[in-house]
Amino acid sequence: MKGLKGDIRIISYFLKLVNTILPSYIPLIVIAAFFKAIAPFINIVMPKFILDELMGQQRIHIFALLVGGVVIGNGVFNLINSFFATKVDIANSKLVNGFELHLGRHIMSMDFESLENPKILNLKDRALFPITNQGVLWRMIGGFINLLQIILTLIGLVALISTINVGLVGIIIGIVLINSFIFKRLQALQFKFNQELIPLNRGFSYYASLASDFSMGKDVRIYNMPPYILSKIDEFNEKSLDGFKKVFGMQGKYEGISNINLQFQMIIVYTYMVWKVFKGAISVGDFAMYISATNNFSTQVSQLLTQFIEIRQMCRYLDLYLQFEALPIKVQKGSKEIGVLSSVNIEFKNVWFKYPQAEDYTLKDVSLTLNSGEKMSIVGQNGAGKTTFIKLLCRLYEPERGEILINGVNVKEYAFDDYTKLLSVVFQDYKLFSFTIQENMSFNQACNQEELEIALQKSGVRDKVASLDKGVETSLYKNFDKEGTELSGGEMQKLAIARAIYKNAPIVVLDEPTAALDPYAEYEIYAKFNELVKNKTAIYISHRLSSCRFCDKIAVFDNGRLIEQGTHTELKEQDGKYAQMWKAQAQYYV
């Protein structure tokens, strides 16, 4: 019962979700099910009167009326059911699109921490795979449509069969229950197999993508990777096929037993009906009607229980989705409005942080202050905590201990969407999208063409954009536009920098902004650094210490700790980490 209550909760949630996405959907499927349930009775009841007429008075005009009624009735109901089937198909498409939007909205509202947590990513795969690859949501909705239609049909069939012998109803239900138990066992086996198949499919998909990903073509050929990749694909194929053999073998066994039970049922029903005809208790027409009714009843009861088990099975899959959707939002969004700030002072106060599942802290007791308009360079070896520092400032994560303050106010108190207006960030792994260049800059906000041109000019990509046939209206990539452009890595990085400049936020963060640039373009960015950020508060991360000369402050991180602070001149003269790094790289600087 506890399991049934859980299923009812899941069903209720998704029915409410369906009603929210498309309010007209549930009334539509109820009406469609009603007409679909009525249609079979024409071919169950009318043949009785036709046979009785043939075996009796054989009146041509009555026979013609009866046959005409069957033909016209079937035609009318076929038209009605086809009409509603089309309406339901269209509604299903709208529902699919609506659910995709619902799902996308949920994922984009999740804590960023969740997107990097292996346990949550695994739950996401387990939750979404059945929906995207096995269509469990739509199978459940389709099951409801069928269930409703079956119930309406059964009501009529029970009333009809009961006029000859209620016992037949019990016999048929008993055999169907046995077959349903068999079907339930098969469903449980399939569920277990599908859960085991998900990690296999993930691995197979990855290696299959390597074989078809053009961007990896050079590495694949240079390192002679095809034999290795193909052997991995074969390995996953073998594991999957072993599972399929087991499942299909059991499926054949269960279906064979089920078919034997159905034949036994047929023997009982036909024997009883023939005996009633020989006794003269029913006519040949009654015989045909009751045989058709009992066969339909058996089929409908079997389908009823099958659909019920199927829906409960879908609930097991969808429960994983509910677990995924119910993940708590840990990052505090706050409610305080920031407003227009004339100055922005940043303070990290005894901040500690470690990633989910990590044993050691990535940042350890970090305290620093950056006053409005100051430029700070953050340096350190890989894994020192530099990018994590930026993620905390952006509120993608929250500190385990300590606090981050903007103008003396804990950032948790600010409304998150309002807070992000303070930040223009170029991440090390920045992303540009398959939109136009202008849309990548403004994201559908009202675009100031003059400021857009200035941003493109400052980042050094204006001439390239101007050379394109459609200019800023040119699409990036070719996903949606065959005339889209594929810019070089350096040009893409310049666009990302231009996007940060165009946003015109009071805090600018550049995380390895010159990694994909050639030496000349890198020099241009460094030379124009103060012009790029003007009087804004700026944080700059780079492995190339020549960038530090353009900054007011330098913060040196090592193993998660802030070990040195000062100007380039001050730190260079000390016998510390920064001086060691500077001396190691000094041969490359002019």
**Locus of tokens 């277990």:** 192
| Residue for token pair 């009633």 | 276
**Where are the domains positioned within the chain?**
2-325, 346-430+489-588
User: Would the CATH topology of 2-325 be identical to that of 346-430+489-588?
Assistant: no
CATH superfamily of 2-325: ABC transporter type 1, transmembrane domain (1.20.1560.10)
Token pair in block for residue 493: 């990085």
> Taking a C-beta distance cutoff of 8 angstroms, is the pair 502, 442 a contact?
yes
Q: How far apart are CA 555 and CA 542, in angstroms?
A: 12
- Tell me the C-alpha distance between 273 and 266, whole Å: 11
Angstrom distance (rounded) from CA 578 to CA 511: 18
**Rg of the chain, C-alpha, whole Å:** 35
| Separation of alpha carbons 187 and 424, rounded Å | 52
With tokens 């499942």, the residue in question is 247
- The answer to whether the CB of 313 falls within 8 A of the CB of 368 is no
Secondary structure percentages of the chain, helix, strand, coil, to 5: 65, 10, 25
C-alpha distances out from residue 475 to 432, 459, 470, 481, 486, Å? 11, 19, 9, 7, 9
**371: DSSP letter:** -
Instruction: Tell me the two tokens of residue 144.
Output: 């409801």
Task: Collect contacts of 295-299 with beta carbons under 8 A, ≥24 apart.
Answer: 295/266, 295/269, 296/40, 296/44, 296/153, 296/157, 297/154, 297/157, 297/158, 297/161, 297/169, 297/172, 298/172, 298/175, 298/176, 298/262, 298/265, 298/269
What SS3 string covers 119-156? HHHHHHHHHHHHHHHCCHHHHHHHHHHHHHHHHHHHHH
At 189 the pLDDT is: 67
Alpha-carbon distance of 103 to 98, in angstroms, equals: 9
Q: What φ, ψ does residue 432 adopt, rounded to 5°?
A: -110, 155
- The set of residues, in sequence order, having a beta carbon less than 8 Å from that of 469 and lying 6+ positions away, is 483
Residue among 254, 285, 287, 304 at smallest CA distance from 149: 304
pLDDT at residue number 590: 47
CATH numeric code, 346-430+489-588: 3.40.50.300
Residue position matching structure tokens 């700070």? 376
Mean pLDDT, 10 residues at a time, the chain of 590 residues: 74 87 89 86 80 77 84 90 90 83 82 78 79 77 82 80 70 69 67 65 67 62 72 74 70 67 70 77 76 76 76 83 80 75 89 87 94 90 88 91 93 88 86 88 81 88 90 87 83 88 89 68 67 83 75 91 91 87 68
What's the pLDDT score for residue 370? 94
pLDDT at 584: 80
In sign, the C-alpha dihedral spanning 391, 394, 397, 399 is positive
Burial (CB count within 10 angstroms: exposed 0-12, middle 13-18, buried 19+), residue 26: middle
